[in-house]
Each structure stands twice: as structure tokens, then as C-alpha cells.
């Protein structure tokens, strides 16, 4: 047992910390100003940041070091990447896209690298790896409890050499961005098959007839336009060639599961970076503000918030790192309990910390003048992502109970 | 001791419930659609709703039955008005302005009725009572901890027959609305006076030179444009005649205190209405949604949320009603502990309930398709209003401790 | 709506407050010392306190003013009695038995007054009302989840002119006291009847052959010997005449329900008294203790505890009072939701307050030198009494959901 | 970074797990029965368990592998010992004393090994290491807030070749056991010295005139007689030779600090073992109990408790392990933040889990029939041990804030 980062991790951390200090933090203000005038596209300056990150060797860091993929990414394990994702999470609207490590592209690239056919990889994976296009992952539906994947109602019906897709999806992150060129769509190819073999995933180019990106959903009032929003997307008799199937028919549920593990690690590590940012902002604020004749930093209740935040962050980070280590050593399946545990603990913990940081900022904390309220909305929305916490707790509890069943 | 409403209250409740059913709820969808195209002004249909409410005798219900004011309002006590404010809170963006019972006008009208000179009442109170203009209350400042009113930095310097105002305010609710014609501005007329005698309030018409309404602050991602937003307002050598002083020089702190009591009752009762709306939405949702083969309503965790919500609402409502009764019977000063208690308990309780209702709605709960996320942002922001909870707890604790001091 | 106590309540409150100040608080230390040497019997000095209370007209205050019972008690309504029970709760081991208002006798006397036959009332109710004997209520069983009354396994089989009782009960409060002369036993007379008609209640004198009071159960580390402990009681072929049936066969469930309403009001009001005592002790302690150069009373976190305690107590008390009022005006059935609500809110709220008071006392708080730890254990155990909170929440949620069912 | 145990740890874990299965768990019932009849001494069977543990090489495992001490213990690092302490914590009243790894002896032995003179080690350390005598650590005082060590009032005045000790201590764990032969007493040798140089520690044999072990303090009703209780001890002109000073005059505070680090690791690891035991008991219980027609295990709220328990345990354990690793690699000082963090998080987390396990057991959970209530009382009391949580949070917050001070 050893809690120190290895040399590779430390090298990348140093490089990334420099990039944050030299390029990311100084751009934040201008980035948000540009974003305000860029509609649903990212601010133009993002391209400069991408070029800079790439030139520094900070590109596609998320890709695991398996044979077919090592050529593209940095070849880092989950355990090596996790602390980097944390650092990116300190400026979650800029650092991940600047380094081509932003969701949902990361998960989509992993899916294509692992399950995509040769032409799919050539057509979509390569420009994604190059940061030329963006992509979306169309899973959640407005009309059913998405907590239960077997509820999915979108149909993907085979008709000769084509699949015909009908359904309605929402909260499709990134899809409002016109440069989001392709959707990975989850739907049912065979409603009669066993519960977890009914679903398949197909690639649907943005300009396919019948696909309508209808509107952006808001998240506590935020449209998140700078990273392409969260779209409602309607599929009406959308037709794609059967070659657009990812993997095999009936394999959709398994692919979704495979995609979730790394996705949660990334989300949770970024959440920790957000929490660290919040603690820093809270500390700086309470040191400089006075009320009732002394700095807020000397109020016991605020000290309590700071201490609790530190205690909770330290625990959460270790669990995420251990989960990454398990995924590297025993695989996603062996890490199932831990992957669920961080999904449960991460958003709730970080939401709590952000709430306290907001409170320490007074009214400013809920406004556009500090990043806290927007970070909060992001953390809060993760309590639904990939199914609400309650579903994960249920499942985790069953696994615990099973240990004692006859 | 008697927990039944009196006949007057019941009569007004019935009348208001009808108005909600017949006019308010059916307008909600259209109201928000119109609002989206109305900039910082309220949607035009609000005028129709106001006319309707007035014709039904639902107008200025908030005004207490003291001599000078009884002529204008319904002459209801705080205890009689409280259950009405609760009902309005079920649709808090429409019912209060439709009945001319919306903050900050309500508090401003009370201030003018109680402390205003004859010309001030004629010039500003009358059109406010008639619903012809709106007003703002400019207290919070970005540069100091507003939790401590003695921190206020805006200066109101006397210069001959005029006051000269310099300072910066923010989160001035309603001020983005062009029909917000007058500001009650709190500032320091005498920084050398005893701590609670330094402040005064003056009336500043919107078009006074030097007054700039600079931008709307957001609350989480909401700009609250339909009720005039929350403005940053800058005062640079703004000059008003000395007649614009409300009450006497050095009386600002006392007026602010007098204004707070009823304000909190109103806020808290509306919060309870919001909570009831949330419980209703939560129940309806979980009855209709299925996951894992049964309605969400049969999940134990969700039942726990519903029961806890009910238990908390019942307690909170009673405390608010008792506070109203105390204000009516022993005055705001005698109700000081209870006024602080509801300010502490109200927003936190209702925020918790809204969070659960949101979670029960899945991703939809945080979007524009349900009112819950916006209600949540409103409840959350009340944890700062009139100073953060922490300041009120401190003060309430001192009062409790004093009972045992020698 | 009116939140003031009526004249009768105020008169009794004054009288009781005097008794507390003059007799109860000054006896506490000696009472516990005597109790340590009295085995399972109450300390002898209790008889003096009883005589004193009776002479002051503070006797059987709990009995409601219905025809058959008014002759015995003070004729107070639930709403009038509630504030008195609160005051007794400030010294819950002494004041209730001193005034003959202690559980489980209170509930048992109500059952006998309402459902008992003439000889049952003569034989048991009269000496109970006179404070000459004590009684027990034997419901909870070790082998089944007592949260579900239909689970009860004890059998009460009719055999000629007798009932034959077999079963095991535990946590039978008061039963270790040798002066506990009679048990009201709940069991099944007809396992084939409809679910809520299977149970009956019978009176079993302590000395009946086959009845064994086996041992005292502890509550955390307390044996509660001064009020007769919490016994495990075994019934092996215990025979009683059929005349010992209370009410009718199959009526046990209904009697149990009828008994619960007032019982919870009493428990909850006493809990509030315990909470008030805790706040007083906490305030006194933190005013006198210093750490880091200032009294603990000036630590923000402790102020937060005090304020939160006050805010929670005020809300809880009002809900209990309203519940009492509902029971008086619309009956136990009409007050069902509120009765469950106070059962849910009461123990949890007061447990929280006691925990904070304990923490403010340092290690002393958990010891025998302060009443806090024992009060805490009492409050905690009420989270099970009459079924765990979770069962009540479930039931309350169903009632809430029903409002929205088709 | 590596989350696997090393070979030594695994070897000891296997050995200890066997000992638990074969000797400890099967003895639990008899141990408590014997304890009930053993007064303040441990049950006689403990000696057999000690002999067995020693013969299995499970003895003094806690002693770190530094030069002077390696000869006595197993030579395990903190990181290697931590998982063993966790396992012992599953039966915290038996396994630690059986393996001579019980507080307060462990800390006392470390103090003597590191700071004791040759004769002190010969006289006291050797019989302690051999498990022949027990010892106590006399720090906490009833009359001052022990959260602030500079408050300590006991005086240790030099008088020729002797120290004269006067003062009152309480909650001196183990001191009621007649075999507790020596006290390490913390007091002030120089009240005029700088704040952290006023204190010294001296060894006081139990039979020294003037030393009175007055009474056992209870912990939520428990006297903890099987491990020697928690005594109030009075020192009246107690005289010991100056050779009984441990280390140097004025070194008491530093020794106390050195003692705390490992102490907390041990406490927290045992707490985790207690939590694991609680989860196991909870799972087994809810699988076998039925209510409302299905096993409790299928109730959503109970599943939530189980899942939350697992999620919290995993996080807490990792933080404790990392803290152990830091102590091994950078020393106690470098691990200061983490040592405080586990002291804050450990008792609160495990108390929560125990509360839920208790609730799942119904009334049985608070009784002597399950270990849960006693474990709870132990966990709760650790929220005070070495100063209340609030003091540690304050200190941890200061350290966090310092990062941002100019």
C-alpha cells in the first residue's frame, strides 16, 4: 500500500498545473465574456487554448493504454489520469475541452475505440481525437424513468439495409453546438429480447433527415451554451445504414455499462477539483471580509465549514483513486461497488461544499460574479446523471446484502 | 388557544383560492412564454390579471389595519394575511404581483404609509397602491458584508437643501424593470453618530442624474426578468431634495428593522405555499412514473421524502402563524425571536423539500419544464436575504443565553 | 386563531411550576441516590412527593373530561394538559409519577375508563387512580417486527370460562417493579379473523401462575430501575377468567389505536420539556466554561446549536399543541396525520438537541453527573415506541399520496 | 500509488482473522456473562485468551519498529497495524485486551518506550508488555474544558527530591480495575512557563498515599466494568520521587501530542471494525425479519442505510490508512491534518452507522441482547476523546486558512 503518485503522474501534474496557471485561469474572465456572444458555439479563443495544450503534450490524456488506443492518447492508466482530471475540474468549463478531455466526447471516443468498426473509427474517432468535431450521447428520455435503462422507449427498427429510429431524447449534452457532428443513440432493436439484450447503439450524423435538435434544456437557469447546452432531440423516421450499428445488436446495454465506469471516475475527479476550487475561494473570501468587527474567517461556523470540507474532500478523493486503481487492476466489473460508491458520494459531497462556499460569499455567491453557483448547478445535476443516486444505493445495498444470503 | 382560521380569513381564502384556480394556474404557461419576450418588463398579461384580482377584491391585502392605512388595504391583520400569502406562494411569480402584494413594493408601501410625509405618500404611495408603478429597496452592497448593517458604505451627505448620494448597491430586486420608478436608498448620513443612528433612507426617483442601473445579477442561472431582475445600481453624486428623506435623519436603521418583520412573514408564508406546490408536484409525479416494475410512489425512500416534507411544513406553518399573531398582539419587538426563527427555519426547510421534489422528477426537475428549479433558486437565495442565516442564529442565541446571565 | 393559553391552563401551569421549583428540582439529587439503593422499586421518597402533589391539586391531570372519568381527574382537555405534561417532562423521572401522570399507567387508566367493565374499573382503575398500584402494558414481542401489529404472536385462546395465554413480551415498562400489580396483555384470540380483528386485550394479575417476569432489558446502559425497568415477561399457559377481557374479542387493535393518540401527545410534550431542560443546561454550562480565552458561549458553533434548538423546539411545540387541539375538536381519527407527525418529529428533534447539550458538557455530558445522557437514551428509545419512525412515515406518505389518486 | 496490503499485513490478517473466528467470537457470550460477576476486574477467561493470542504470535502488534522497541513488538508499521486494529474492533471488548493491544496501555507503553528512563521501562514497560499489569492515563479534569490542554489545573510541585501532586481527574479509563498498577499523570510543574511548557508527566503507582480512586463514571449508563471502567481519581498531596518524571520537566504537552497520533489511528481503525460489525448485523437482521409482508431487507429506506454505510466506511478506511502511511513516511507532524481529519470523521461516521443498525433491530437494538447500543456509546464518547470535535475542526480550519494568508 502506497499513497504517493508515481513519476509519470507527477510529471503530467506539473505540466498541467503550469498550463492551468499560465493559460487557463488567466483566460477565465475573457472566456465567459466571449461565450456570452457566441450563441451555442464555444468561444473562439478555445481553439487557441486547444493548440496550446496540444503543443504542451496535454491532449487526449484520458485514453487508457490498451493496444488499439495507446497510439492516440497519453497511455495513462485510470489511476494516473484521475489526479489530472481533478486539476482540470478546477476550471471545468475550459480545461477539459482545451485538452480534448471533455465529456461526452471522452466516453464516446472510448466506445468507438473499443467497439467501433474500422470505418466508424476512421470517420468519427479520428476527428474526435483531433479535436475537430464534437459528439453527443443520446440516452436519457423525457417520458420514462431513465433510472431504469430497460425503460428506454426509443425504437431502432431494422428495415432492410437501414435502421429506422423514432423517439425523443433530452438533456443531450453538447448537442446544441453546431459542431457536434454525430450522435450515439441508444434505443431498442428488439423489445422481445431478454431485458438487457433489447438495446443497441447506432451512430447518427447530425444532418440526417428526421433528426431535430429542438431546444436547449436549462439546468437551474443555466443554458450551458459554452459547451453546447443540453438539447432535446427528436428522432422521426431517422434512417441510417446498418453499418452505423456500434458493436452488435443487443449490445447496447453492455456498451453503456462499459462506458459508465471511466465516465464516473472522470466526473468525480473533476468534482473534487471543483470542491478544491470552492474551498480556496471560500478561504480567500472569509479572510478578506469583515463583519461584527472581525474577519469572517474567525467565525466558528465558517471554520466548521472549512474543516468539514477538507475532511470530506480527503476521503472522497481517496475513494475515487482507489476505484481508478481497481479498474486498472481488476477491471470495471471488479470495481462495481466502488464505482457506484463514488457516484453516490461525489455529487452529494461536493454539492454540500459548494453550498457552504456560496453562503460564505453572501449574495455574490449565487450570482455570475463568482463561479460557485454554476459549479453548484453542475454538481447538483450529477445527482441524476446515469440514474439518480437512489437507484445506485438500491443496487449497492443488494450487493451488500448478498454477502449474507444463504 | 385555537387553531382555526376566523371567518374573515376563510372568506378571503375562498376568494383567493378561486382566483388561483380560475386565473392564475391556467395562466402560468402563457405567462412564462410572454415573459421570455418581454425583456426586463413583466409580461403584458399581468395587467389583465391585476384588473381581475382588483375586481374580485383581492388587492393590497397585505396592508395592516392601522388608521392611516386601513383606507387603502383590506384591513387584515398579519395573522389573517398570512394564509393568503401562503396561497399566493403556490404561484409566486404571478399571484403576488397580480394582487399588488409583491415584494419589495409591499415593504416599501408600509414604510411610506408609516414613515412617509404627506407629499411622499401622495407622490409614491398612491401610485404604488394603485399598482401603477413599481419601486425598489436599495440596501445590499457588494463591497461589505451586508449581514452587518453598520457596514453600509453608501454615503448620503447633506449639501444645503439637497442630499448627495454616492455608493454602489446590488441585488436590488425589481430595479431592471423600467416601470420601477423610485428607489428607497439606505446610506449613511452621519458616520460619526452612534452605530445605529448613522443611517438614513431617502427616496430617489429612477431618472435622477447620476443613478445608473448597471446590470442584472443572476440567481443561479436565473435573471428573474419577469419581476424586474436584481440590479446592480450605482449612485454617483446623485442629488435629491432634503424633502426626500423618509422619517428623520439617523432613523434608517429603525425603519429597516420595522420593515423586516412583516417582510419575513410574507416571505415565509409564500415559501410554505411553494413547499405545498412542491409536495403536490412530487406526489403527482411519483404516482405516474414507474421504475423497476412499480410506481415511484411505492419506493420507501420517496415515501420518506413525502412524509418528512409534510411533517416539516406543518411545523413551519404553525411557527409562522404564531409569529404573525405575536406581531399583531405584542408588536414586532415582542416577536423578535420568532421573526428570526422563521427566517432561519423557512428557507432551509423549503429548500430541502424542493430538492426532494426535484430529485423525484429526474432531470426534468432541474429544467424549465417544471417550476421546481426556479422555486429552489428563490428559496436558496432567501438564506441570504436580510443577512445570512448565520447572523440571525448568532443573535437568537445571544437572546437565549441572556436568560441565564446574572 | 389564538396562541394564548386559557385561564385554566395558566392556573394549572402556575401551580405546577411552583411544585417543580419547591419540590421536584430540589429532590432530584436525593431521588437518584435513594433510587440506587431501592432495587426495582421506586425510591421511598416518591410517596411523600405524591402526597404533596395530591394536596396541591396536581393529581391525575391527564384524564380527559368525559362523563365517566371527569369525577376522577382534573377534567382537562388534551390542549390544556399538554403544557402541563411539558413542564413535567423537565424532570421526567419524578414529576409524572409524583402527580400520578406517568406512563404506562396513564394509558392503561384511559383504556380501563373507556373500555373496562364495572368490576375491572373497581378492581384496577380505582387503585391506579389512587396511586396505590402500578400497571404495565404488554404489547411488544421480541420475535416479530412489532412495527406491524398484525405480526403479534402471543396467543390468547379461549378455554371454557378462561383465556389461556402463551407468548413472550419484552420492553414491558414498569413491570420489574413489584408494585406493578396488573398487566394489560395484547394477543391473538382469533388468527383467522380479518387482520385488524384478530387481537384482544386481557387483564392479567401479576401473581397469576405461568406469568414470569424474567429480566430487565437495558436501554443503552440504563436499567431504569427507578420506574420499574423494562421487563421481559413470559406467559406459559397463563389462565385468567373470561371476565378479564377488556372490551370485546377482536377489539384489541382498536383499543391499542385509541390508546396511542393521547400517549403520543404526552410523550411528545414531555420530550419538549426535556429539550427545554437541555437548552437551559447547555446555556448555563457554556456561560460558565472557558476555553481558548473566552466562554464557550461565545463560540459560533455553540451559538448555532442553541439557536437551532430554540427554532426546532418552537416548531415542535406548536405542532403538538395543534394535535392536542385537533384531538379535542375532531377526535383522534381526524388528528391521525398530526399524531403521526409528532411521533416522527418529536423524538428525532429532541434527540438532536440533547446530543448538542451533551457535547457542550464535554465528558460530563455522557456521565451520571448530568441528566442529559439518560434523557437522551429515553428520547432515542422513543424512535421505536409504538413502531419505528419508518413505519409512521410510510403510513403518513400514503395518506398524502391518496389526495392525488384518481 | 497502490491500494493492496503487503505480504506481512496479509499474513497477520489471516492469523488474526482465524483467532477471531476460532476464539473471540465464540467467547463473546460467555465473556459478558463472566464480566457481570467480576466486579471491576476483567472476566477470568481473558487470561486464557491472552495466552492463546500470544501463542499464535498475536501480541503487542501495535508497537512500531523503532530500535528500542522492535525487540518487544511485531515490528509493524502503522500502515501494517491499522488493518489489524480494524479487525480487533469487530469485538472491541475482547480482541484488543486479548492481544495486549488495548488502550490506554498501548499509548502508555509507547510513551514509556520512547520517553521512559531505564528504570521506568524496567519497572513498568516490561510488565505491561508482558500483559501482567494494566495502566491508566490521567489527563481529563472535571473542572476545566479539557479541550484546551493549557487549562489543566492539577499541580505537580517539586519539593526536594519529590513531586507533590494535587488535583482531580475523571474519565480515567481502566482505573477501576485493581490490576491497573500505575497512572501516568499530566499536571503543571510550572504555571509561569510558556503555555506549552508548563505541563509534565509523572508516574504514580496505584498504592501511593493520597491517591483515591473514587468512583466509576458511566457512559450512557454503561460502567464498562470489564475493561476497568472510567474512574474519578483524586490526588491529595500525593508524593512520588523525582525519578518518576517521564522525560523532562515541561515536556508533558509534547509527550501528549506524540501519544495522540497513534492513539487516534488505533481508535479509528477499531471504529471501522465496529462499523463493519454493525453493517453485518444490520444485513443479517433485515434479511430475517419480516414486516408488512416482505423482509425488511426489501424496504427502500433500509437499503439506503446499508448503501450509505458502505459508502462512508470505504471512504473513512482509506483516510485512516493514508494517515497511517503518512505517519510512517513523514511522521506525526507531517500527518497532523490527516490525524485531525480522522478524529473528526471517525466517531461521527460510525455513530451514524451504529444508529441505523440499532434502528433496524427495533427495541432489541438498544438492549443488552445485541452489542450495538454499547458500541454506539463507545463511538459517541469518542467525539470527546482528546478534546471535542469542535476544537479539532477549529484547528484544522486554521491550517487550511493559513495557505491563503499573505
Q: What CATH number is attached to the domain comprising B53?
A: 1.10.540.10
pLDDT at res. A394: 95
In angstroms, the separation between the Cα of residue C8 and the nearest Cα of chain B is: 11
Q: Which residues of C touch D145 (CB under 8 A)?
A: 289-291, 296, 362
Interface residues of chain A, partner chain C, Cβ below 8 Å? 299-304
Compute φ and ψ for A181, nearest 5 degrees: -95, -15
Mutate to test the interface with A, among B145, B220, B223, B394 (most CBs of A within 10 A): B220
- Residue C360 placed within a domain: yes
Q: Which residues of A touch C300 (CB under 8 A)?
A: 299-304
**If you measure CA to CA, which chain C residue comes closest to A299?**
C300
> Using one digit for the tens of pLDDT, what is the confidence trace for B358-380?
999 999 999 999 999 999 999 99
Place of cell 374573515: B8
Locate the DSSP E strands across D260-317: 290-291, 294-295
* 3-state SS assignment for residue A203: strand
d(CA D88, CA D81): 11
Bridging pattern class, strands D230-241 and D180-188: unpaired
In angstroms, the separation between the Cα of residue D384 and the nearest Cα of chain C is: 6
Give the residue among B292, B268, B277, B272 at the shortest CA–CA distance from B383: B268
Shared domain check, A257 and A396: yes
- Residue C90 placed within a domain: yes
Cβ atoms of residues B94 and B87 within 8 Å: no
Across B135-147, average pLDDT? 88
Shared domain check, C225 and C260: no
**If you measure CA to CA, which chain D residue comes closest to A320?**
D315
Give the residue among A344, A183, A3 at the shortest CA–CA distance from D317: A3
**If you measure CA to CA, which chain A residue comes closest to D309?**
A397
Give the Cα-Cα-Cα angle B309, B315, B319 (nearest 5 degrees).
Answer: 140
Contact B363 A218 (CB under 8 A): no
Q: Which residues of D touch B302 (CB under 8 A)?
A: 300
**C-alpha grid cell, residue D126:** 516490561
Number of CB atoms found within 10 A of residue D194's CB: 10
d(CA A145, CA A143): 7
d(CA A328, CA B183): 62
Shared domain check, C258 and C393: yes
Contact D394 A280 (CB under 8 A): no
d(CA A220, CA A383): 13
> Using one digit for the tens of pLDDT, what is the confidence trace for A335-376?
999 999 999 999 999 999 999 999 999 999 999 999 999 999
Contact A218 B367 (CB under 8 A): yes
> Using one digit for the tens of pLDDT, what is the confidence trace for B253-285?
999 988 888 888 999 999 999 999 999 999 999
d(CA A275, CA A287): 18
Shared domain check, D394 and D283: yes
Domain of residue A35, residue span:
7-129
Contact D217 C140 (CB under 8 A): no
- Residue D174 is part of a domain; what is its CATH number? 2.40.110.10
Cα C22 vs. chain centroid, distance in angstroms? 24
**C-alpha grid cell, residue C261:** 393518540
Give the residue among B352, B284, B286, B282 at the shortest CA–CA distance from B315: B352
Residues of chain B with pLDDT > 90, as a percent, come to 89
Among candidates B6, B287, B398 on the partner chain, residue whose Cβ is nearest the Cβ of C404: B287
d(CA A393, CA B340): 37
Cβ atoms of residues A304 and C301 within 8 Å: yes
Mutate to test the interface with B, among C287, C318, C390 (most CBs of B within 10 A): C318
Contact C400 B341 (CB under 8 A): no
- Residue A258 placed within a domain: yes
- Residue B257 is part of a domain; what is its CATH number? 1.20.140.10
Shared domain check, B206 and B279: no
Among candidates D310, D316, D394 on the partner chain, residue whose Cβ is nearest the Cβ of A300: D394
Shared domain check, C225 and C274: no
Cβ atoms of residues C346 and C99 within 8 Å: no
- Residue A76 placed within a domain: yes
Chains in contact with D, where contact means 3 or more Cβ–Cβ distances below 8 Å, are A, B, C
Give the residue among A184, A204, A169, A151 at the shortest CA–CA distance from A255: A184
Give the residue among B39, B260, B274, B270 at the shortest CA–CA distance from B137: B260
pLDDT at res. D289: 92
Contact A301 C304 (CB under 8 A): yes
Q: Out of D220, D249, D278, pick the residue that ends a domain.
A: D249
pLDDT one digit per residue (tens) for chain D, 406 residues:
999 999 999 999 999 999 999 999 999 999 999 999 999 999 999 999 999 999 999 999 998 776 445 566 678 999 999 999 999 999 999 999 999 999 999 999 999 999 999 999 999 999 999 999 999 999 999 988 766 777 899 999 999 999 999 999 999 999 999 999 999 999 999 999 999 999 999 999 999 999 999 999 999 999 999 999 999 999 999 999 999 999 999 999 999 988 888 888 999 999 999 999 999 999 999 999 988 889 999 999 999 999 999 999 999 999 999 999 999 999 988 999 999 999 999 999 999 999 999 999 999 999 999 999 999 999 999 998 878 899 999 999 999 999 999 7
Shared domain check, B101 and B184: no
Contact D301 B304 (CB under 8 A): yes
Across C149-175, average pLDDT? 95
d(CA A205, CA A180): 9
Cα C205 vs. chain centroid, distance in angstroms? 21
> Using one digit for the tens of pLDDT, what is the confidence trace for A88-146?
999 999 999 999 999 999 999 999 999 999 999 999 999 999 999 999 999 999 988 76
Q: Which residues of B touch C341 (CB under 8 A)?
A: 310-311, 314-315
Q: Which residues of B touch C338 (CB under 8 A)?
A: 314
- Residue A1 placed within a domain: no
Cβ atoms of residues A92 and A132 within 8 Å: no
**pLDDT surpasses 50 at B67:** no
In angstroms, the separation between the Cα of residue B297 and the nearest Cα of chain D is: 12
Among candidates B301, B384, B393 on the partner chain, residue whose Cβ is nearest the Cβ of A363: B384
Cβ atoms of residues B102 and B177 within 8 Å: no
Place of cell 442630499: B163
Dihedral of CA A266/A269/A272/A273: which sign? negative
Cβ atoms of residues A376 and A355 within 8 Å: yes
Side-chain-facing half-sphere of A256: CA atoms under 13 Å: 28
Cβ atoms of residues C145 and D293 within 8 Å: no
Place of cell 441570504: B384
Give the residue among D238, A375, C297 at the shortest CA–CA distance from B402: C297
Count C/D contacts: CB-CB distance under 8 Å: 133
Q: Which DSSP string do the residues of C155-203 spell out, in sequence order?
A: EEEEETTEEEEEEEEEEEETTTSTTEEEEEEEEES-TTS-GGGSEEEEE
Among candidates A148, A376, A389 on the partner chain, residue whose Cβ is nearest the Cβ of B292: A148
Give the residue among C115, C228, C236, C109 at the shortest CA–CA distance from C166: C236
- Residue C1 placed within a domain: no
Among candidates B145, B220, B391 on the partner chain, residue whose Cβ is nearest the Cβ of A289: B145
Is residue C81 exposed (0-12), middle (13-18) or buried (19+ Cβ within 10 Å)?
buried
Number of CB atoms found within 10 A of residue A162's CB: 15
Contact B3 C322 (CB under 8 A): yes
d(CA C91, CA C270): 9
Mutate to test the interface with B, among A173, A221, A232, A382 (most CBs of B within 10 A): A221
Give the residue among D1, D19, D11 at the shortest CA–CA distance from D88: D19
Contact D359 C170 (CB under 8 A): no
Shared domain check, A165 and A140: yes
pLDDT band at C148 (very low <50, low <70, confident <90, very high): confident
> Using one digit for the tens of pLDDT, what is the confidence trace for C200-259?
999 999 999 999 999 999 999 999 999 999 999 999 999 999 999 999 999 999 999 888
List chain A residues with pLDDT less than 70. Answer: 66-73, 146-147
Mutate to test the interface with A, among B294, B351, B375, B390 (most CBs of A within 10 A): B390
Among candidates A280, A325, A337 on the partner chain, residue whose Cβ is nearest the Cβ of D3: A325
Cβ atoms of residues B133 and B180 within 8 Å: yes
d(CA C123, CA B10): 50
Q: What is the ipTM of this complex?
A: 0.96
Among candidates C303, C337, C404 on the partner chain, residue whose Cβ is nearest the Cβ of B393: C303
pLDDT at res. D67: 43
b/e map of A101-136 (b: 16 or more CB within 10 Å)? Answer: bbbbbbbbbbbbbbbbeeebbebbbeebbebebbbb
Q: Which residues of C touch D397 (CB under 8 A)?
A: none
**If you measure CA to CA, which chain D residue comes closest to A396?**
D307
Shared domain check, B260 and B396: yes
Shared domain check, D44 and D31: yes
Q: Out of B111, B129, B147, pick the residue that ends a domain.
A: B129
Number of CB atoms found within 10 A of residue D288's CB: 11
pLDDT at res. B160: 96
* Four-CA torsion B128, B134, B140, B142, nearest 10 degrees: -160
Q: Out of B90, B106, B129, pick the residue that ends a domain.
A: B129
**C-alpha grid cell, residue C269:** 410534550
- Residue B1 placed within a domain: no
- Residue B2 placed within a domain: no
The residues, any chain, with a CB within 8 Å of residue D378's CB and separated by 6 or more, are: D92, D219, D274
Q: What CA–CA distances, in Å, run from A62 to A8, A80, A203, C245, D46?
A: 14, 9, 22, 75, 55
Among candidates C296, C373, C383 on the partner chain, residue whose Cβ is nearest the Cβ of D220: C373
**If you measure CA to CA, which chain C residue comes closest to B401?**
C283
Shared domain check, C164 and C116: no
Place of cell 396511586: C131
> Using one digit for the tens of pLDDT, what is the confidence trace for C339-366?
999 999 999 999 999 999 999 999 999 9
In angstroms, the separation between the Cα of residue B84 and the nearest Cα of chain C is: 14
Mutate to test the interface with D, among B300, B303, B307, B356 (most CBs of D within 10 A): B300
Q: Which residues of A touch C306 (CB under 8 A)?
A: none
**C-alpha grid cell, residue A160:** 432492410
In angstroms, the separation between the Cα of residue B354 and the nearest Cα of chain A is: 12
**Helix/strand number for chain B, H first, E second:** 15, 10
* 3-state SS assignment for residue B159: strand
Among candidates B1, B283, B326 on the partner chain, residue whose Cβ is nearest the Cβ of C404: B283
The residues, any chain, with a CB within 8 Å of residue D194's CB and separated by 6 or more, are: none
Cβ atoms of residues D136 and D170 within 8 Å: no
Among candidates A220, A301, A388 on the partner chain, residue whose Cβ is nearest the Cβ of B359: A388
b/e map of C35-64 (b: 16 or more CB within 10 Å)? Answer: beebebbbbebbeebbebbbeeebbbbbbb
Shared domain check, A259 and A210: no
Contact A304 C301 (CB under 8 A): yes
**pLDDT surpasses 70 at B32:** yes
d(CA D135, CA D228): 10
Compute φ and ψ for A126, nearest 5 degrees: -65, -50
**If you measure CA to CA, which chain C residue comes closest to B283?**
C401
| Total tally of structural domains belonging to chain B | 3
Contact A315 D316 (CB under 8 A): yes
Contact C301 A302 (CB under 8 A): no
**pLDDT surpasses 80 at C71:** no
Contact B221 A142 (CB under 8 A): no
Amino acid at each position: 500500500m502506497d499513497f504517493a503518485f508515481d513519476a509519470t503522474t507527477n510529471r503530467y501534474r506539473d505540466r498541467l498545473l503550469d498550463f492551468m496557471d499560465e493559460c487557463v485561469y488567466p483566460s477565465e474572465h475573457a472566456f465567459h465574456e466571449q461565450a456570452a456572444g457566441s450563441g451555442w458555439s464555444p468561444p473562439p479563443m478555445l481553439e487557441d487554448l486547444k493548440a496550446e495544450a496540444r503543443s504542451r503534450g496535454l491532449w487526449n490524456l484520458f485514453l487508457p493504454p490498451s493496444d488499439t488506443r495507446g497510439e492516440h492518447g497519453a497511455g495513462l492508466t485510470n489511476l494516473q489520469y484521475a489526479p489530472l482530471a481533478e486539476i482540470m475540474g478546477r476550471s471545468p468549463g475550459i480545461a477539459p475541452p482545451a485538452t480534448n478531455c471533455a465529456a461526452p466526447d471522452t466516453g464516446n471516443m472510448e466506445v468507438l475505440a473499443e467497439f467501433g468498426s474500422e470505418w466508424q473509427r476512421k470517420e468519427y474517432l479520428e476527428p474526435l481525437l483531433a479535436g475537430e468535431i464534437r459528439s453527443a450521447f443520446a440516452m436519457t428520455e423525457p417520458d420514462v424513468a431513465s433510472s431504469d435503462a430497460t425503460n428506454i422507449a426509443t425504437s431502432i427498427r431494422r428495415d432492410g439495409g437501414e435502421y429506422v429510429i423514432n423517439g425523443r431524447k433530452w438533456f443531450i449534452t453538447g448537442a446544441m453546438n453546431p459542431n457536434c457532428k454525430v450522435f450515439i443513440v441508444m434505443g431498442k432493436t428488439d423489445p422481445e429480447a431478454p431485458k438487457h439484450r433489447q438495446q443497441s447503439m447506432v451512430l447518427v450524423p447530425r444532418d440526417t433527415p428526421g433528426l431535430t435538435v429542438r431546444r436547449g434544456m436549462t439546468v437551474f437557469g443555466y443554458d450551458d451554451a459554452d459547451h453546447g447546452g443540453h438539447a432535446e432531440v427528436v428522432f422521426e423516421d431517422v434512417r441510417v445504414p446498418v453499418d452505423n450499428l456500434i458493436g452488435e445488436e443487443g449490445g447496447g446495454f453492455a456498451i453503456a455499462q462499459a462506458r459508465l465506469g471511466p465516465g464516473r471516475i472522470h466526473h468525480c475527479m473533476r468534482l473534487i477539483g471543483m470542491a478544491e476550487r470552492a474551498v480556496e475561494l471560500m478561504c480567500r473570501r472569509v479572510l478578506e471580509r469583515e463583519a461584527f468587527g472581525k474577519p469572517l474567517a474567525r467565525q466558528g461556523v465558517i471554520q466548521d465549514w472549512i474543516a468539514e470540507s477538507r475532511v470530506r474532500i480527503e476521503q472522497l478523493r481517496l475513494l475515487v483513486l482507489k476505484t481508478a486503481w481497481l479498474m486498472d487492476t481488476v477491471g470495471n466489473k471488479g470495481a462495481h461497488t466502488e464505482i457506484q460508491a463514488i457516484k453516490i458520494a461525489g455529487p452529494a459531497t461536493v454539492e454540500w461544499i459548494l453550498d457552504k462556499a456560496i453562503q460564505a460569499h453572501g449574495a455574490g455567491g449565487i450570482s455570475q460574479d463568482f463561479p460557485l453557483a454554476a459549479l453548484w448547478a453542475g454538481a447538483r445535476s450529477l445527482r441524476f446523471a446515469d440514474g439518480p443516486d437512489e437507484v445506485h444505493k438500491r443496487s449497492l445495498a443488494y450487493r451488500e446484502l448478498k454477502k449474507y444470503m444463504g
